[in-house]
């Protein structure tokens, strides 16, 4: 018998149709002006719901409300889906790692000691990761602090392999981060030490693929970081400025690979006896490069040419079920008692879908960073393959295909709880392309219109929200100059309940600052159960 048991909600009348939960990824509520891509888009369905539906409110989707270090920190899809699926707030990677490094607790662990031992036994300590302070995948300050500790512990040779951001931070902000890192490396390279940048490239061009969407990205990263293959430069700063000059449209996330070399020889290939640390604390874009280092002959994604004998570690463990990586510096929060565990315990059949870019968010992150099914008898997951191109070229993405599949799931009558992520607002929002962003939001709105028609016929209930903002900010103005904005926002997100069942009457609770963590209890109430005691309060109550 499952330990996750739900009690029936008193005075609740069962209804025929399904509960449909739509996450409009990256669709926040902005200032409703020319900078707001959601406002500029033609969204008659969403506009009508927010204007006329009494069960509409705004949710906080950033900062402390999703387990980030402070309210100055944006939300993201990982922490957003953790909060949505877990029903309460857990400390997230940025906060956990900041605290572990600031307290120096991380340097007392066996993993760190093993990294230092390899480096002091004649090897090199290599650090690979996203170079920015976006606090979504990584934070440059953590790297700078780690480099200081390497000096303290007598590590003589360090190589950094940097991935330029331009997505969670300014689209051409890499030079500033490189300057900060180079200053630290110069400071550390005293008394005979040798600390340098060895290679790099843009996060959307090499290394940081996710969900098996584009393994050639990872292959390019492997060749660049490990084998030292790629276009050579004297410094990372020179590489970035050269790519800027050659193509004025290129942004940091799409910079091609670069290898730092002297006299035609790479300064930092990864060799037998070295230690390698992948610095990203967020898991989705760390899993594939981790597999490259940890899997043996069973690895078949591409020809690695050689697999050096290294001690490999992640900043955190990226998949607790698969135990990837085996070694990691900071222990993740253990997220248990997710809504899916409770619904499976109650025998509720569910269906989850997204396209590749967000499939793991509506499954893995939703389920507390756990891969696979909780119950193969009660759950079905569907992944629609994403287009392999920049998303401003096809801003409608797979919204149509996701909608078609959802319509089939609704009409089947097989599933009581159906959830989906529509990635458009986030993935296209990261491109900063104004027209494409508007089209992306409109594609989602069109999908909502079609879904609501089917849901009304089935007598179901729709719940519509977002995990964070993005498309709601196209640009900012600094010193009178307009700058394209491609990162997430601190804006609230919509929360809408559209009830076609007619079975029960709910009203919104009076809450000071409702957030994403209140959604799970709300969904459980709508399905006719009392919320688990440990969950944050539901947004609704029976009227």
Question: Could you give the residue numbers annotated as active site?
Answer: 77
Q: Which residue has the tokens 């981790």?
A: 290
3-state secondary structure 449-506: HHHHHHHHHHCCEEEEECCCECCCCCEEEECCEEEECCCCECCCEEEEEEECCCCCCE
Residue ranges of E strands in 165-250: 194-202, 232-233
Q: How far apart are CA 197 and CA 388, in angstroms?
A: 30
C-beta of residue 525 within 8 angstroms of C-beta of residue 539: no
Going by C-alpha positions, the residue among 410, 403, 399 that lies closest to residue 351 is 410
Q: How far apart are CA 378 and CA 279, in angstroms?
A: 37
Rounded to whole angstroms, what are the CA distances from 363 to 78, 339, 389? 11, 12, 23
C-beta of residue 50 within 8 angstroms of C-beta of residue 494: yes
Q: How far apart are CA 209 and CA 219, in angstroms?
A: 10
**Quick one: tokens of 26?**
């990256």
Q: How far apart are CA 314 and CA 323, in angstroms?
A: 11
Helix (H, G, I), strand (E, B) or coil at 261: strand
Q: How far apart are CA 331 and CA 317, in angstroms?
A: 7
Helical segments of 205-306, H only: 215-222, 236-246, 287-294
Strands 258-262 and 265-266: antiparallel
C-beta of residue 75 within 8 angstroms of C-beta of residue 61: yes
C-beta of residue 338 within 8 angstroms of C-beta of residue 365: no
Q: Which residues contact 229 (CB under 8 A, 6 or more apart)?
A: 223, 259
**Quick one: tokens of 485?**
């904005």
Q: How far apart are CA 357 and CA 98, in angstroms?
A: 27
Q: Which residue has the tokens 């007619």?
A: 502
Axis-axis angle for helices 287-294, 215-222 (nearest 10)? 50
Q: How far apart are CA 57 and CA 54, in angstroms?
A: 9
C-beta of residue 490 within 8 angstroms of C-beta of residue 448: no
Q: How far apart are CA 284 and CA 305, in angstroms?
A: 25
Q: How far apart are CA 362 and CA 353, in angstroms?
A: 7
Residue ranges of E strands in 25-156: 56-59, 125-131
Residue 79: count other Cβ atoms within 10 Å of its Cβ: 31
């Amino acid at each position: 018998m499952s330990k996750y048991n739900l009690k029936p909600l008193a005075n609740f009348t069962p209804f025929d149709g399904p509960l449909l939960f739509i996450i409009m990824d990256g669709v926040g509520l902005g200032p409703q002006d020319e900078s707001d891509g959601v406002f500029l888009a033609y969204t008659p369905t969403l506009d009508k719901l927010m204007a006329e539906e009494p069960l509409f409110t705004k949710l906080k989707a950033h900062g402390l409300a999703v387990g980030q270090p402070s309210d100055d920190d944006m939300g993201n899809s990982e922490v957003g889906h953790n909060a949505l699926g877990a029903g309460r707030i857990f400390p997230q990677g940025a906060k956990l790692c900041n605290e572990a490094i600031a307290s120096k607790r991380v340097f007392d662990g066996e993993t760190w000691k093993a990294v230092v031992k390899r480096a002091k036994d004649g090897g090199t300590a290599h650090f690979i990761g996203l170079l920015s302070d976006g606090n979504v995948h990584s934070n440059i300050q953590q790297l700078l602090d780690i480099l200081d500790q390497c000096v303290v512990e007598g590590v003589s040779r360090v190589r950094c392999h940097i991935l330029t951001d331009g997505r969670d931070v300014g689209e051409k902000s890499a030079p500033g981060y490189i300057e900060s890192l180079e200053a630290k490396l110069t400071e550390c390279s005293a008394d005979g030490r040798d600390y340098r940048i060895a290679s790099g490239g843009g996060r959307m061009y090499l290394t940081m693929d996710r969900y098996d969407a584009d393994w050639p990205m990872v292959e390019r990263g492997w060749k660049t970081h490990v084998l030292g293959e790629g276009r050579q430069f004297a410094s990372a700063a020179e590489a970035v400025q050269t790519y800027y000059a050659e193509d004025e449209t290129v942004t940091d996330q799409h910079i091609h690979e670069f290898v730092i070399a002297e006299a035609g020889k790479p300064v930092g290939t990864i060799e037998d006896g070295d230690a390698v640390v992948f610095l990203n604390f967020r898991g989705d874009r760390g899993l594939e490069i981790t597999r490259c280092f940890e899997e043996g002959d069973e690895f078949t994604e591409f020809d690695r040419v050689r697999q050096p004998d290294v001690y490999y570690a992640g900043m955190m463990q990226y998949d607790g079920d698969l135990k990837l990586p085996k070694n990691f510096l900071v222990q993740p929060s253990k997220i248990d008692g997710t809504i899916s565990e409770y619904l499976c315990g109650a025998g509720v059949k569910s269906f989850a879908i997204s396209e590749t870019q967000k499939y793991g968010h509506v499954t893995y992150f939703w389920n507390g960073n756990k891969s696979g099914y909780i119950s193969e008898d009660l759950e079905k997951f569907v992944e629609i393959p994403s287009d392999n191109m920049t998303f401003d070229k096809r801003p409608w993405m797979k919204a149509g295909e996701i909608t078609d599949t959802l319509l089939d799931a609704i009409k089947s009558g097989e599933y009581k709880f159906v959830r989906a992520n529509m990635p458009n607002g986030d993935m296209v929002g990261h491109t900063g392309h104004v027209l494409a962003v508007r089209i992306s939001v409109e594609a989602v709105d069109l999908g909502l219109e079609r879904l609501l028609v089917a849901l009304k016929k089935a007598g179901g209930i729709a719940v519509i929200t977002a995990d964070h903002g993005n498309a709601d900010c196209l640009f900012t103005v600094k010193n009178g100059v307009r700058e394209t904005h491609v990162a997430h926002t601190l804006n609230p997100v919509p929360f809408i309940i559209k009830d076609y069942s007619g079975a029960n009457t709910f009203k919104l609770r009076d809450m000071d600052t409702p957030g994403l963590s209140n959604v799970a209890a709300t969904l459980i109430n709508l399905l006719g159960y009392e919320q688990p005691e440990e969950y944050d309060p539901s947004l609704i109550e029976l009227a």
